[in-house]
Structure 1
């Protein structure tokens, strides 16, 4: 079927081409020309809209029936991971990389076959990463997950190694949200919030997990959490037992994963946060020859200045920088400041844009990040789009080898959005319309 999209501003590489027609035919982009062809099965008027390549998200979780996060937590039910893919598609994302790296490629292919979004997989099946998962959780791990390896998963189609480390295994937001509160509740019956858990954790271990116990701060944090009568020493023991076993294993996993990336010639994606920043710098300076992406370099556990300083140091060693929307632009449930985001884009050459997961999967959409960069003056429209399309395809060669650019011969993964990028009107994947007038078509799920 030949589809002609006319009248829109087309983002083709570094240029924004006004009133240019894009013709889709046979699953590929056929032509990009101011003069639309006369023969077409479908004509779509995109006047007043922007036509851009389908976005490529290199940092997603919860998009397969495999175990969740670096902690190997129990998988989402089918309607959960399919619902996450629906949200990606409705926001103009047509390819995702699953960074729940303990899923098998069979599980990744299950998701890919079930949905129009192109789902690709990464692997973290190194011994230390597996040990970190089991120390933190491991409820979603089966014999198939425990007995495979990075080498086997790469041979089976994985395109990268990652996510190496994570908030669940490296004492970050995943610990604050789930595992520390669970440990406290088992001992006391009291339910504490993620913010209260983080305050307890930092009183015991410091923000980088390398500090000494600050008992006065811990007692104050316990009182604020409704635990004034609870022993500070017992609380400190619970925090250490929850955080440190997986943390130390995950640090070893960072090294194993980057070494494997160098050995097998695929990119590694590593968890960049306050607790991992120093180990990452030490690893980067060893010059192991791997292609490495520092994920969410704007992580809020850093101070804004530390985020910029660490990012520049990693970039000077040849690593790429990814920044995430989290939920900092709109929802602000887990990240309530945009200072890290603004400073990273003002002071560093960020390479890639992604989302991560957000609270219960409710991250701000990738396209919202693109729109914000343009509205804030951090990037031009073509440059902002490239951060979530062409740059990603180039950084991870196996992820979207024929996508990410509007160019004749490329896959017909195309998005038509409102001029301000706030609304996704239409989405095509391989030339098939999967979103029409902001609603999923029957072709979205297979």
Structure 2
């Protein structure tokens, strides 16, 4: 009788539990195992899944020991937080997978608006407050699905799509101001700097493009390419950051790389530094950053969520360093096709992260614990996008995903 933790027995139980009957029969013969020994018994027995789970728990315990947690008065995951969902839909709008959500002020529409893009190439704009009425529906902006959007001066919309196009349009009317194709395909992200006249787009053609943003007659926006980074792999996460020196910079990650790359935010995008996060993390799991977002109140800290199958990691790192302040296994399942995103809570005391299981998880900044779980998809479909912020003075979370649903979450008891 082999030991209960015998590698051969673990493999045999894996084959049995997953229905690999032919492989199991051959393996039992070659490993000289009695078929009866595979039965885990009333206790369930040790399995590969349990071994991996224990390894993840071990990694998590190490990361919590490693985390720099001070005894100051930093707030924990404050209550109340958004827990009450309100579905956003229109009976005359065909349902489609949600790719991107954003709340922004659009002056011509009377205030905060919810911008949603879907797999059917549409961009729809809803009121960001109850009853979440459909205000606009644009299907002419791009020849393919829209992946990212940003707002200029509460009037103009920059949108990017799978076909490589970057379009500037009037957010309210849908009138197209400019239509360029700076990328071959899949423009996955657009960033607009708050203080400098720069726009960044990144695409799966292995390029990042820096554009100048100017305004012509009647304050009409115009993009002009300033510099292009040719990269060895697909760019994944990109973000603007302020370096410890006070300089503005672009930070980005590449597919299958644990490095963060920093370039100074000037017209030639000069390389500044490369920081490898892998040596300072406690886990053997490989990863790359999928989403990077600076802390809302501390520009020296970056929140990062990773591609790290089988579960997403959240990292809190210091800007322009290899100092990983916190490393957390979120429990959010991932595959090679996952698109991890995060959003900071308004006060910076925690983050929300998406999940392929339809659950949005809240992680406490101070302890690294997963303290909240919101079931954003009844059918457990992937949550593809989320947005966090304040609408009419209350904290709001917006989620959208492959259940074709859009939800606006508000604190319990708060007016929708």
Which structure would you say has the larger RCO, counting Cα contacts within 8 Å and 6 or more residues apart? 1
Q: When you count helix as a share of all residues, which structure comes out higher?
A: 1
Q: Which has the larger radius of gyration?
A: 2
User: One fold, TM greater than 0.5?
Assistant: no
TM-score, length-scaled by structure 1: 0.28
Q: TM-score, normalised by structure 2?
A: 0.29
Which structure shows the higher strand fraction?
Answer: 2
